[in-house]
Structure 1
Amino acid sequence: MVFLINDLKGIRQVYAPSMYATIAPVLAAEAVRTYEVGGPDAFAVFSQRDFHQNRRIFLLDGFYKDVLGGSLTDDGLRVAHATRNGQLFMLGRNIAAYKLVSASGRPYILLIYLTKSLWIELIDALVGRNLPYTIGLFLLVTALCFVLAYHIAAPIHSIQSTARRVAQGDLKARVPSNVAKRFDELSALAKDFDSMVDRLELLIETQRSLLNSVSHELRSPLARINLAVAMLKERYAADADDMLQHLDRDVERIDVLIGQLLILSRLESGLSSSEREEVDLAQLVEGTVADCHFEAEASGKSVSLHTAGAFLLRSADPHALRSACENVIRNAVRFSQPGTNVEVLLAIDRNGSEPQVTLSVRDYGPGVPEEALDAIFQPFYRIAGDGQEPDGNGLGLAIAAEAIRLHRGTISASNCRPIGLEITIRLPGDLDMDIA
């Protein structure tokens, strides 16, 4: 019987260390020995004894006939014709054939039909008559896995949540006490984390206290210096006027710096409930824009405002918000080119789950290097121009960032094209906001 190449489609040779390739030679040799010694009857008993559950075996002679006279399927004959001496061939995972030559010199082919796959046999072995016990064991193992996962994940989630609060500026945050009472590595991690936050809080509070004390202590001598400068202007001749003007400007610069340090110190110490009141944000921004526009006209610049309605915040600090707006807008005016306009936009962003108030200030200045977009909100951070000394004292945007943080808002900067910088302030809608 001749087979075309297409007839062998799906038939593959199986090599060691496959389980089938290992067992097939032993099984075939035993089947042939049983048949040649005991005849068909002995082989029939052999096949029924070992393979009556999940397998059926046939022993074919050199003419591809079953020695017991049984009928074979076409797929079985295809595999039998494809096999070669000492090699195992399979069709899918259900039919296997192994060819060998006995000691008497006769060729035989062991043909095996697998009625169940190994996975099905494994499931049968696990379940069998013990199905209720198997299901119970599975449910017990699943429950234990969930308990173990919760036992590990819950304290990690608590530490992670506390770390986020600390990163947002809440130095009073601590890991829950139930995590520290555990007797494992997570308990030690929680204790070390709390110790780190304690130390960090102490350092920051010491720094704030020192800054506040120094600023207050400098205010009194500065007032006396201002008075002395005024008296000198009245007594001395005009040839000392230039020197006195320089002295007056330096004193004024120090006074402004100390005033900003005091504002920053007050904001970093937090806002009390007595400082919060109802604030019309649109009116506050409008007044600030008007003041900044008046100042900008002296240098050939302008400030414009676009707003849509009133935005009433029931629990806010008007002084902190005004300070934030003034510093951001004045910073934009300072760096804008003459003849340009600083654009201020107050609007509502409804894209998220909750509406947010957004205040964007866009200037037409040189912009900021991309790597410094976040750093400009840090105290005393300044950017030098081309061959020029840095302008300002680096506290304006830091004051704005701190004021917005105390209102649970965000402030960010981005460069515009072709020139300019845009600073965006976002205030959350949970400030008891009314939108007219």
Structure 2
Amino acid sequence: MAIRWYKRLFLKIFVTVWLTSFLVIALTAFVIGHLSEQRRDRDVFSARVLGQAELLIDRYERDGRLPSPKEWRRYHDDDHKEPRFFPTRVQITEVKTGLVIFGHDNIREYRNPLVFNVLSDTGREYQVVAETRIRPDLAAKLFGFFLSVQVVLLMVVAGIAALLISLMVVRPVNRLRQYTRDLYNGDLSARTDDDLSRRGDEIGELSREFNRMAEYVEQTLQSNTHLLQDVSHELRAPLARLQMAAGLAGQKMSEADQHFIERINQECERINRLIDEILSLSRLEQMEVSDQSFELTRVIDTLVEDFRFSAPDHPLEWAPVNYRIRGNPALLERALSNILGNAVKHTPADTGIVISAEQTAGNVLIRVKDRGPGLTPEQLDKMFKPFVRFTGQQNGYGLGLSIAQRAVQLLGGTLSAQSQPGEGLELLLVFPRI
């Protein structure tokens, strides 16, 4: 089953790392910049207040009077260009006498007050209290920050870092997946490359575990294949002796008892056919996988003629095509022969079979469709497993389609099936296009 693009591990890692790193770096930069700007604004505000206070004190000592706060604001129009640095409420008090020479507000109502002690040129000491109202607009500042060039650079840097991390994780995982797929498709020699197996991290450990598993699977399957061959060959001799003994016994028995001999011969023939299929399955693994190309029509035409002769009650439809695939033509012949034999065996007489071929994007697709009763989804999941027979199917031993699937895999293709009950069974053989 193909993975949807938004569920891919690469996309998940990339988005997570990119978004996390970008937000962490951007917010850290914003907070540090905001705190630095607050400190700078406070220093500018303090210097502005101190300068204004010194001017007020100097004028007071010179003239003996001070303007009101409203007159002072009108007098210093240039301060309105930066209103956030202009103290809205200021109080100046002579320390020695406690006289308030400027401002008459209650300093307890000041928000975030700044307190200075100023020593005038005449030697008098004054206390200056100013209300701080530096409140920058965080929303506007944040919006402007995320539209700045710095944020674009942060996004690019975070994207590069996320891409590198994603590739470091996903690329070896994809290579392991390909090796696993090769092993599943029948390449028992599939092993991870040295670059993966020599890694010292978890991926390297996983690749080494995969090699150990593949080695075990190869040895087990080869042992089973050799066992099947040996047992099948060993069964042939006693089976032949049993048939010979049944023939001799039949010569000495009366005609009334001949049905026992016929039953023995029938069972012997079934065992013989089972041995033939087991040997066919084991010999299939030893067939040469050629790299030469061949014409589909040449193989399918021969099979169609054979089945039209051996199964005339199942009409075959086939339109020759000029397609070629790569591999051993005997493997395709074995696969299609078993598929057609299965269709003939499990469909009623006068049921037609249609064979067609077409080219798709990068593939050659062969369809074999019968018009039989079809299979249920549960049966479709099990139909390619060895020795699986469904209820009511007494012909065969459940090896034909397993042999066909293995032959298709050795050709580098895939074999699948689709069906609806009552609408027949369609087998799809897909091969790489050359």
Unaligned runs of 5+ in 2: 1-33, 57-67, 90-104, 110-132
Which residue of 2 is the match for residue 412 of structure 1?
A: 416
- Secondary structure of the 1:349 match is strand
Q: Is the 8 A contact 1:289 1:329 kept in 2?
A: no
The answer to whether the Cα contact below 8 Å between 1:383 and 1:391 also exists between their aligned partners in 2 is: no
2:302 is equivalent to residue 287 of structure 1: yes
Aligned-residue offset at 1:245: 1.4
Q: How does 1:142-181 map to 2 (within 5 A)?
A: 146-181=163-198
Once residues 363 and 258 of structure 1 are traced to their aligned partners in structure 2, the CA distance between those partners, rounded to angstroms, is: 30
The alpha-carbon distance between structure 1 residues 422 and 154, as it changes in their structure 2 partners (threshold 3 A), is closer
User: Relative to structure 1, is the Cα distance of residues 163 and 49 closer, same or farther in structure 2, using a 3 angstrom cutoff?
Assistant: farther
Residue of structure 2 equivalent to 1:334: 345
Q: Which residue of 2 aligns with 1:364?
A: 372
Contact 1:332 1:363 survives alignment (8 Å): no
Deviation (angstroms), 1:261: 0.4
Aligned to 2:400: 396
Structure-to-structure mapping, 1:342-361, within 5 angstroms: 342-350=352-360, 352=361, 354-361=362-369
**Distance of aligned partners of 1:235 and 1:400 in 2 relative to their CA distance in 1, 3 Å threshold:** same
Q: What is the match of residue 272 of structure 1?
A: 288
Q: CA deviation at 1:119?
A: 4.4
CA deviation digits over 1:256-291, x for unaligned, max 9?
111110111122x24325x78775533433333344
C-alpha separation between the residues in 1 aligned to 2:77 and 2:324?
A: 91
Alignment of 1:114-193 (within 5 A): 117-120=141-144, 146-193=163-210
Distance 2:226 2:382 in 1: 24
1:333 is displaced (CA, Å) by: 1.8
C-alpha spacing 1:176/1:117, structure 2 compared with 1 (3 Å): same
Q: Return the structure number with greater helix share.
A: 2
Structure 2 Cα separation of the partners of residues 60 and 276 of structure 1? 90
1:380-408 Cα deviation digits (max 9, x unpaired)? 011103xxx65421111111111111111
**Deviation digits for residues 207-240 of structure 1, max 9, x if unmatched?**
2221121112112222333334444445544223
Q: What are the residue-to-residue correspondences of 1:190-205 with 2, within 5 Å?
A: 190-205=207-222
What is the CA-CA distance between 1:250 and the residue it aligns to? 0.9
Matched, 1:382 2:386: no
Structure 1, residues 93-113: CA drift from partner, whole Å, max 9, x if none? xxxxxxxx98899xxxx9999
CA contact (8 A) 1:304 1:341 kept: no
Question: 1:184 & 1:270 partners in 2: Cα distance?
Answer: 38
Does the CA-based 8 Å contact 2:411-2:431 persist in structure 1? Answer: yes
Pair 1:321–1:149, CA change in 2 (3 A): closer
Q: In the TM superposition, what are the counterparts of 1:2-401 in structure 2 within 5 Å?
A: 39-40=68-69, 52=82, 117-120=141-144, 146-267=163-284, 269-273=285-289, 280-297=295-312, 301-311=313-323, 315-318=327-330, 320-338=331-349, 340-350=350-360, 352=361, 354-365=362-373, 367-385=374-392, 390-401=394-405
- After TM superposition, the score normalised by the length of structure 2 is 0.64
8 Å CA contact retained: 1:416, 1:422 = no
Q: In 1, Cα distance between the equivalents of 2:265 and 2:433?
A: 45
Tell me how far 1:317 sits from its aligned partner: 3.3
Measured in 2, the distance between the counterparts of 1:293 and 1:118 equals 80
Q: Counterparts of 2:142 and 2:166 in 1: how far apart (Å)?
A: 32
What's the TM-score, normalizing by structure 1?
0.64
Query: Across the two proteins, how many residue pairs are aligned to each other?
Result: 341
1:309 CA displacement: 3.6
SS in 2 for 1:187: helix
Letter in 1 for 2:351: N
Letter in 2 for 1:117: K
Q: Deviations over 1:281-331 (max 9, x none)?
A: 33433333344344445xxx323122134555564232x323222221121
- Within 1, Cα distance between the matches of 2:260 and 2:404? 35
Q: CA deviation at 1:43?
A: 5.6
The 2-side partners of 1:50 and 1:158 are apart by 67
Residues 161 and 277 of structure 1, relative CA distance in 2, 3 Å threshold = closer
SS in 2 for 1:263: helix
Q: Please tell me whether the aligned partners of residues 363 and 430 of structure 2 are also in contact (alpha carbons under 8 angstroms).
A: no
- Structure 1 position 370, deviation (Å): 0.6
Q: Give the whole-Å Cα distance in 2 for the aligned partners of 1:172 and 1:46.
A: 89
Does the Cα contact within 8 Å between 1:346 and 1:360 map onto a contact in 2?
Answer: yes
